């Protein structure tokens, strides 16, 4: 299995997605551990997909779909086992899993995009915010892990240090930004964990 996963065998081409599905089946079927075989098999599937450049797999989850209908998962194994290990059954089942997981991701992105646009429209007209602060909030909605410093804000908007400092301090005071611990005397800020609800209150 390790040779197969690391492309040391077989010599003929197997599509990377099918190869990843085979690895999932292989480990789950062998069942080498007392517990956690299913989780490990799914982790191996994700590893293989990412290893072959399918980076979007980092953002999908097949586990909830399996857990909602465990009988279908078990039947995919059963049909394969009882038909001379014909993996077609498991592959078709797994491809459907991937398709459904991608559809859920697209639905989530659409939903979040609508929320972000709605919040941007709402906070755009808040009189207490200047155009620099509105621009920063718009960026923060799309980059929730971004770290902002007075220097970076100063450079982005071509303002003096004091103006940049006041912009960030006001956003921190309103709860939109959270001030982090100073590192080498540098003050930094990150978007609040509940940024969307904070903006709703601000609006």
**What element of type H or E holds 40?**
helix 37-51
- In order of start, what are the domains of the chain with their CATH numbers? 2-108 (1.10.3290.10), 128-202 (1.10.10.10)
CB-based burial label for 111 (10 Å; 0-12, 13-18, 19+): exposed
Q: Which residues contact 193 (CB under 8 A, 6 or more apart)?
A: 178
Q: How far apart are CA 202 and CA 195, in angstroms?
A: 10
Nearest in space to 40 (alpha carbons), one of 21, 24, 19: 24
The length of the chain in residues reads 203
Whether residue 127 is predicted with pLDDT greater than 70 in this model: the reply is no
Q: Which residues contact 198 (CB under 8 A, 6 or more apart)?
A: 174, 175, 176, 192
In DSSP terms, 179 is beta-bridged to: 189
How would residue 122 be classed by pLDDT, with cut points 50, 70 and 90?
low
How would residue 121 be classed by pLDDT, with cut points 50, 70 and 90?
low
Nearest in space to 52 (alpha carbons), one of 99, 19, 101: 19
Whether residue 116 is predicted with pLDDT greater than 80 in this model: the reply is no
Considering the chain, what is the average pLDDT of its residues?
89
Q: How far apart are CA 146 and CA 17, in angstroms?
A: 33
Whether residue 170 is predicted with pLDDT greater than 70 in this model: the reply is yes
Task: Specify the pTM.
Answer: 0.67
């Amino acid at each position: 299995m390790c040779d197969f996963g690391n492309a040391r065998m077989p010599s003929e081409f197997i599509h990377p997605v099918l190869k990843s599905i085979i690895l999932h089946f292989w480990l789950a079927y062998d069942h080498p551990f007392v517990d956690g075989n299913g989780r490990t098999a799914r982790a191996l599937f994700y590893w293989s997909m990412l290893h072959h450049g399918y980076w979007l797999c980092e953002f999908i989850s097949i586990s909830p779909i399996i857990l909602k209908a465990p009988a279908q998962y078990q039947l995919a194994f059963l049909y394969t086992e009882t038909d001379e290990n014909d993996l077609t059954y498991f592959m078709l089942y797994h491809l459907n899993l991937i398709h459904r997981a991608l559809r859920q991701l697209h639905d989530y992105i659409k939903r979040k995009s609508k929320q972000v646009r709605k919040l941007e429209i709402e906070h755009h007209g808040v009189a207490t915010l200047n155009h620099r602060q509105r621009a920063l909030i718009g960026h923060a909605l799309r980059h929730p892990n971004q770290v902002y410093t007075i220097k970076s804000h100063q450079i982005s908007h071509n303002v003096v240090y004091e103006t940049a400092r006041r912009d960030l301090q006001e956003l921190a005071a309103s709860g939109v930004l959270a001030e982090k611990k100073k590192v080498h005397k540098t003050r930094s800020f990150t978007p609040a964990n509940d940024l969307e609800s904070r903006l709703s209150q601000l609006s």
